């Protein structure tokens, strides 16, 4: 099933579950919080296991690609990136873990400060589902070969700005890499 479709289905089901729960009951509230925290801890555990596997493989194969210019951060030209598979994979794991902590902060604000409880139910499973469906977990935890959609660097779905401007995503072809390396800020090794 397509992850976007399954996300919608899960959200609809969890909304119906949240409507049926009596959040005035302290026991229901406690178990809802416990389920949310458990799912977040499990997602972090998945990424920790993946990080251990990445470090144990220690794949130092060179990886070159071109990141598109990001006008929002002041970049006007694409940037060549030279890194290793290990460093790229660790960077992907770090990005995913930051996403979990960002979600925890937002949910903490919404639940503790604004007193919303329904999002706890709806978001409880989404981070764990996202972790299990991420490309890096598919490669290192499930042993799926890194080819096709799982070929590094991973292709990200175009965002709203890229769709409007027609900007290309990450490029790996030799001509693009060489062109960016010769340009102003190209050939910078990522650490």
pLDDT per position as a tens digit, 69-90: 777 777 778 888 899 999 999 9
The verdict on residue 32 lying in a domain is yes
Q: Which of 163, 131, 137, 167 is nearest to 150 (CA)?
A: 137
The verdict on residue 189 lying in a domain is no
The verdict on residue 171 lying in a domain is yes
Two structure tokens written together for 63: 């990886």
Average pLDDT over residues 115-140: 92
The verdict on residue 114 lying in a domain is yes
Give the pLDDT confidence of 159-178 residue by residue, as tens digits.
555 555 555 567 666 666 66
Average pLDDT over residues 25-43: 96
pLDDT (0 to 100) of residue 75: 73
- Does the predicted model carry a pTM greater than 0.75? yes
The verdict on residue 30 lying in a domain is yes
The verdict on residue 191 lying in a domain is no
pLDDT (0 to 100) of residue 86: 96
Q: Which of 7, 10, 18 is nearest to 120 (CA)?
A: 18
According to DSSP, the residues that pair with 65 across neighbouring strands are 81
Residue 189 scores a pLDDT above 70 = no
The verdict on residue 186 lying in a domain is no
pLDDT (0 to 100) of residue 72: 76
pLDDT mean across residues, the chain? 86
pLDDT (0 to 100) of residue 107: 94
Sheet holding 79-84, edge to edge: 62-67, 79-84, 188-189
Q: How many domains does the chain have?
A: 1
Two structure tokens written together for 1: 């099933």
Sole residue written with tokens 């509230």: 29
The verdict on residue 61 lying in a domain is yes
Average pLDDT over residues 122-131: 90
The parent domain of residue 162 ranges over 3-181
pLDDT (0 to 100) of residue 122: 85
């Amino acid at each position: 099933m397509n992850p976007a479709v399954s996300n919608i289905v899960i959200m609809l089901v969890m909304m119906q579950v949240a409507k049926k729960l009596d959040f005035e009951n302290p026991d229901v509230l406690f178990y809802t919080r416990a389920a949310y925290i458990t799912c977040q801890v499990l997602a972090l555990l998945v990424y920790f296991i993946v990080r251990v596997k990445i470090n144990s493989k220690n794949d130092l194969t060179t990886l070159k690609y071109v990141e598109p210019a990001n006008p929002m951060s002041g970049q006007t030209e694409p940037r060549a990136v030279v890194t290793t598979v290990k460093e790229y994979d660790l960077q992907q794991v770090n990005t995913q873990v930051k996403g979990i902590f960002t979600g925890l902060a937002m949910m903490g604000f919404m639940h503790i400060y604004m007193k919303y409880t329904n999002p706890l139910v709806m978001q409880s499973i989404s981070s764990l589902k996202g972790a299990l469906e991420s490309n890096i977990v598919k490669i290192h935890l499930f042993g799926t070969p890194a080819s096709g959609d799982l070929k590094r660097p991973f292709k990200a779905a175009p965002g709203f700005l890229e769709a409007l401007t027609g900007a290309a995503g990450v490029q790996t072809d030799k001509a693009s890499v060489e062109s960016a390396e010769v340009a102003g800020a190209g050939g910078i090794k990522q650490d």
